[in-house]
Structure 1
Amino acid sequence: MTQKTILEVRDLNKAFGAVVAAADINIEVTEGEIIAIIGANGAGKTTFVNMVTGYLTPTTGTIRFLGQDITGRAPAAVCKAGLTRSFQVAQLFPGLTVMENMLVAFASLRIGTASFFTPLNNAAARKTALGVLSTFGIDPHADAPVSALAQGVRKLLDISMAMISGPSLLMLDEPTSGVAVDEKFPLMETVMAGVRQTDATIMFIEHDMEIVTRYASRVIAFYEGTIIADGPVAQVLDDERVRKYIVGQIQAAATADSP
């Protein structure tokens, strides 16, 4: 059975004046894939995700999602189309509770009966929000203020807010960054188990090659704004340029940051 293409990026470029942040990006994503995006700092990974999710407008090129041209659409419109994301630094309202953050996410997309013209805290919205929180194992924190949450729970809340719309494609920006070493695999297991309960396809930016090899089925490698490899995990990680320009640089950076 042929898998449906859900995301098609063609000839995507982004320049900031004379600085080229992304050049000739061509990617096709089919439903059900789990894709890791790798690259050293400044390689263009987040620039790519920002363009696809509407936070940056491409200089040239096209982005098609579920057959629709979403190039240059605002983030809210992209979310409503079914493409959502989380952030490397969780984008939360620290003065609100976990449930209140979820209700804001629900209302901002005007899903179901919620909108900015009806109360945020209604039964339908709470039921939906609690269901998503339960999927990611953080429903016991529903009434806790975000300011009191551990980093791992904040990450899961950010992802839960991205999942409340039932997206077709979820993009995660370094889901394990800032999380303790002994928590990274449990966190990722929770994320993957939660997403598997839906039909969402996943693309995630990650520096940790152990996470990449354990969870991804395909890897896209960025270097200086271009894609230098795209394919099965073992094949890409064995690529000479990937080992030299990406894995080697990430390992060197990690060693430099060690006490």
Structure 2
Amino acid sequence: MEHNVAASRLQGTGAHALELDGVARHFGALVALTGITMRIAPGERRAVLGSNGAGKTTLFNAVTGDFLPTAGRIRFFGEDITALAPHERIRRGLRRTYQISQLFTNLSVLDSIYLACRGVSRRRFSLLRPSLSDPNMAQAESIMHVVHLDADRDKLVGTLSHGQQRQLEIALALAGAPRFILFDEPAAGLSPTERRDLVAILNALPKYIGYIIIEHDLDVALRVSEYVSMMHNGRLFKEGTPEEIENDPMVQEIYLGGGHG
């Protein structure tokens, strides 16, 4: 898999799910991103790591359109999306989760996933109640199984544990057949058992869905990625396989305190 990913990264534009060329983002005099260039193949699972303030979330915001880049270009499956609105990127198959949960706590698990599926469908503005044969309901049932929430289908979101809410966020990102997902610290606040479940969920996603994961828990990030990009002060400074990054002396010194085994 690593060889295939590396080979596809060197091919032309059409071979890439996501391309960033010299992406920068400034907030007045503050330079949050500088010269970010990445090539990510369809189906590739990439981890983006770095300390707080390295620019990871700003990078996500640039890709999703929450903050337009100050400079540079972004392409999604060959299409220039640099200036597109966030909802237009969603329509093209780009999804994202957030560090802070953004869920409707008074809805059930199944209703939440159903509405997410409905929201990206062509009939999203229909006022008709869903029928038993509604394809969005069938998709919601399938997604609920993927994220291990079958037993919690009728529970109100507000009664779920923190880990279950994180699983639900992944479910919402899977609505509408996404082609690429940005996961923003999905393991934050999870117990060891919940983190193992998260790793299992991410590794079991369909192979055609690529993703980037930002994660402070290196054990999680390195177990669910094929390639790693390290950021520091708004720049990329090191890239490699999980094994290369984990064993790199500079990475160990800066990010792992030299004691990661």
TM more than 0.5 = yes
Q: What's the counterpart of residue 228 of structure 1?
A: 237
**C-alpha separation in 2, matches of 1:249 and 1:14:** 31
**C-alpha separation in 2, matches of 1:116 and 1:141:** 27
Q: Which moved more, 1:220-229 or 1:140-149?
A: 140-149
5+ residue gaps, structure 2: 9-14
| TM-score w.r.t. length of structure 1 | 0.88
**C-alpha separation in 1, matches of 2:185 and 2:36:** 20
**C-alpha separation in 1, matches of 2:170 and 2:189:** 15
* Mapped pair 1:201 → 2:210: yes
**C-alpha separation in 1, matches of 2:207 and 2:137:** 19
* Mapped pair 1:19 → 2:25: no
SS of aligned partner of 2:36: strand
SS of aligned partner of 1:183: helix
Does the CA-based 8 Å contact 1:7-1:66 persist in structure 2?
Answer: yes
**C-alpha separation in 1, matches of 2:221 and 2:167:** 18
SS of aligned partner of 2:256: helix
**C-alpha separation in 2, matches of 1:121 and 1:156:** 24
Letter in 1 for 2:41: T
Does the CA-based 8 Å contact 2:18-2:41 persist in structure 1?
Answer: yes
SS of aligned partner of 1:9: strand
Aligned residues: 247
Equivalent position to 2:160, from 144, 149, 154:
149
Does the CA-based 8 Å contact 1:38-1:246 persist in structure 2?
Answer: no
* Mapped pair 1:53 → 2:64: yes
Does the CA-based 8 Å contact 2:199-2:223 persist in structure 1?
Answer: no
Q: CA deviation at 1:30?
A: 0.6
* Mapped pair 1:8 → 2:7: no
Does the CA-based 8 Å contact 2:44-2:210 persist in structure 1?
Answer: yes
**C-alpha separation in 1, matches of 2:59 and 2:47:** 13
**C-alpha separation in 1, matches of 2:99 and 2:59:** 14
Kindly report which structure 2 residues correspond to 1:43-192, keeping only aligned pairs within 5 A, or say none.
43-109=54-120, 111-112=121-122, 114-119=123-128, 121-122=130-131, 123-192=134-203
Letter in 1 for 2:107: L
SS of aligned partner of 2:195: helix
SS of aligned partner of 2:17: strand
SS of aligned partner of 1:28: strand
**C-alpha separation in 2, matches of 1:250 and 1:27:** 29
Residues 77-105 of structure 1 show CA distances to partners (whole Å, capped at 9, x for unaligned) of 11111111112222211121112212321
Does the CA-based 8 Å contact 1:146-1:154 persist in structure 2?
Answer: yes
| TM-score w.r.t. length of structure 2 | 0.88
CA gap 1:153/1:231 in 2 versus in 1, 3 angstroms: same
5+ residue gaps, structure 1: 252-259
Q: CA deviation at 1:182?
A: 3.0
CA gap 1:142/1:166 in 2 versus in 1, 3 angstroms: same
Identity of aligned residues (%): 30
The RMSD of aligned alpha carbons is 2.0
Does the CA-based 8 Å contact 2:202-2:224 persist in structure 1?
Answer: no
